[in-house]
Amino acid sequence: MTLRVLLLLTLFPLSAVSAPLPVPDQGPALRIQGSNTIGAALGPALVKGLMEQQGLQGVHAEPAEGANEQRVIGKTRQGKTLTIEVDAHGSSTGFAALHKASADLAASSRPIKDSELVDLEPLGDLKSPEAEQVIAIDGLAIILNPRNPLNTLNTEQLAQIFNGEISTWEALGGIGGAIHLYARDDRSGTYDTFKDLVLSRRGKPLAASAKRFEASEQLSDAVSQDPQGIGFIGLPYVRQAKAVAIVDGDSQPMLPLNSLIATEDYPLSRRLFFYLPPTTHNPWAKALVDFTQSSKGQAIVAANGFIAQRVQAISVEPRPSMPEDYQAIAREAQRLTVNFRFEEGSASLDNKARQDVQRVVAYIKGHGKLDKQVTLVGFGDIKNDPQRAALLSKLRAMAVRRELVKSGVVLRDIRGFGAQMPVAANTADEGRIKNRRGGGWGY
């Protein structure tokens, strides 16, 4: 299940790296493999930040032997060279590398699959809070050539376009003739995410005519140079292309804006992960995870074009389509950009939500908002019984309340709006999960 609670916070700095880390006599200090979305720029930038925090000098990245492979190199004050390897060939390759013991840390732009969990069981539970680390929020942008006049597409149209059923721009009310498709390769977490959110939900495979790319930058540049092109890409790689607004079910059209991706309302939002095997004995792997979750690490996340796990207060303009009570809250308070989600089929907060609780509590305490300054608002998916949907939405908000109360937060109110104001289609599990959400407002 999912509960989204909107809460205002600044990043709660988790454990910082302080003690000097060992420098190996030979070989890399750390091997990271997996997502190109992470590994192309964000991963090396985070590694640089950690190495500089450790006092290494002359830290720089240079190409390694293969394409989409880098080495980040620095020297200790004693003149000893330290190297960290970052290979970015797609999320699935990170889990395969953990299995072969050729990597210490996997970078992934999608959650680990059940089959991968089974394969990696000897390394411990990779779904445990210590192992599964959400490091950033990203959104898949649907990109067109800048000269394409279309501004909005819905997820049903996207499935038909990338399946080849819709093959001309004229069929969408545009101009330009045949549609040219651009997609990431099969090993990519970006492709897995698009497939899960758009294609598989409607039982459609990707058209064989799609041009496939391992590198995000190359795909984006190809679309921006092709007047008939369309592709999907991680948010930092829009580059010179044009992103369109996306509609899912009864949702409003949503551009891949930072505020909508931070709340995970944007239909094609996703989480980016590091997976740290519980059995690992590499101190650099654990140190990089801790650094990434710190305020310095999240600043690097933001500087690289992703959405950091900081929550901001955003003003919401009341609209006639909103329930009257919701409009009243919007007039008095600011929405706080945190999503709390539950493990599927349970009332247990997921791994990101557990960290977000710490961040929220730290912000509330730091801003003197402990006493009746936050309202929780819950939403649910459509049920046969609307009253049951309303009750479930409030119960989900109350589940978050219990976690906040443990740290001394006294809430102003808890409201449930049932299945009103959907942000996604209710015709598939993924959409229903997104609609089971809660909102937090600060006064």
CB atoms within 10 A of CB 55: 11
**Residue 324 domain boundaries:** 310-442
CA distances to 101, 165, 246, 432 from 160, in Å: 40, 5, 14, 21
Residue bearing tokens 């936050």? 374
At position 194, the amino acid (one-letter code) is: F
* Whether 414 contacts 438, CB under 8 Å: no
CB atoms near residue 125 (< 10 Å): 14
Residue 388 inside a domain? The answer is yes
Quote the pTM value. Answer: 0.83
**394-412: pLDDT as tens digits:** 677 777 888 889 989 888 8
Q: Does residue 303 form part of some domain?
A: no
Do 352 and 431 lie in one domain? The reply is: yes
In a domain, 300, yes or no: no
Q: What's residue 428's pLDDT?
A: 45
Examine the domain organization and report whether 181 and 197 are in the same domain.
yes
CATH of the domain at 195: 3.40.190.10
Distance CA 85, CA 121 (A): 24
Residues 47-70 have pLDDT tens digits of: 999 999 999 999 999 999 999 999
Q: Which of the two residues, 195 and 311, has the higher pLDDT score?
A: 195
Residue 435 pLDDT > 70: no
pLDDT score of 193 more than 80? yes
Query: Could you tell me if 176 and 285 lie in one domain?
Result: no
What's the confidence (pLDDT) of residue 344? 66
**pLDDT higher than threshold 60 for residue 433:** no
- Name which residue leads in pLDDT, 99 or 434: 99
Are both 430 and 314 inside the same structural domain? Answer: yes
Say whether pLDDT at 323 is over 50: yes
pLDDT reading at 427 higher than 60: no
Quick one: how far is CA 426 from the chain centroid? 21
Q: What is the mean pLDDT of residues 199-217?
A: 96
334 and 354: one domain? Answer: yes
**Whole-number Å distance between alpha carbons of 334 and 313:** 6
Render pLDDT for 129-179 as a digit per residue (tens, 0 to 9).
999 999 999 999 999 999 999 999 999 999 999 999 999 999 999 999 999
Q: Are 275 and 126 in contact (CB under 8 A)?
A: yes
Average pLDDT, the chain: 87
H/E stretch holding 160 reads helix 155-163
Question: What's the number of domains the chain is made of?
Answer: 3
